[in-house]
């Protein structure tokens, strides 16, 4: 009797594995392939030695997927919190079968959204992102929206200094 149940369990597991294998070839939903996280940056040193203030958006990108550098757009709402042009690393240049020569990000990338005001009002803000990426050699996703929240605590101050020109997102 024990052998019977062991054999039955083995058949069930084999059936589940074969049923799951076609799904392994299916591309992930963009929200799972490209996972963004937001973090408030307050006074951290930059590469130039000045203090950075703003929002860092870190993308974790699944293996076999890539995100287009030039297809990222950012907007913060409510619009009382102004951001400067996003600071993006250069990325990796590729010849893409879908859009030609492009800069892309794989694995992880952090994009800095600098604040352009000296005082940011406390509260919750939404970072609205429009992104586009591909599953390597299989499919390119249409531009997809993603949204994150960041909380600015009371008393948060941006030090005075070089404030870049005001933009409400990435210029085209």
Q: Which residues pair with 53 in a beta bridge?
A: 42
Q: Is the Cβ–Cβ distance between 118 and 54 less than 8 Å?
A: no
Q: Is the whole-model pTM more than 0.85? A: no
Q: Could you tell me the mean pLDDT of each successive run of 10 residues in the chain, 172 residues long?
A: 44 43 73 96 78 92 97 92 92 86 96 82 92 93 96 74 39 36
- 71: which 2 tokens? 């297809």
Q: Is 3.30.300.340 the CATH classification of the domain at 27-152?
A: no
Q: How far apart are CA 162 and CA 85, in angstroms?
A: 13
Q: Is the Cβ–Cβ distance between 60 and 33 less than 8 Å?
A: no
In 3D space, the residue among 112, 43, 48 whose CA is nearest the CA of residue 84 turns out to be: 112
């Amino acid at each position: 009797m024990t052998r019977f149940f062991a054999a039955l369990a083995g058949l069930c597991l084999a059936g589940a594995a074969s049923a799951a294998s076609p799904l392994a070839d299916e591309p992930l939903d963009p929200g799972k392939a490209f996972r963004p996280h937001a973090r408030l940056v307050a006074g951290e040193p930059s590469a130039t030695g000045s203090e950075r203030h703003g929002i860092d958006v870190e993308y974790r990108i699944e293996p076999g997927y890539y995100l287009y550098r030039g297809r990222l757009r950012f907007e913060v709402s409510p619009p009382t919190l102004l951001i400067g042009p996003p600071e993006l690393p250069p990325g990796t240049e590729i010849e893409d079968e879908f859009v030609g020569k492009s800069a892309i990000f794989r694995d992880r990338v952090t994009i800095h959204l600098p604040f352009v005001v000296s005082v940011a009002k406390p509260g919750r803000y939404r970072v609205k992102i429009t992104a586009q990426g591909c599953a390597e050699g299989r499919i390119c996703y249409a531009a997809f929206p993603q949204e994150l929240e960041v909380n600015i605590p009371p008393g948060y101050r941006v030090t005075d200094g070089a404030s870049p020109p005001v933009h409400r997102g990435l210029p085209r």
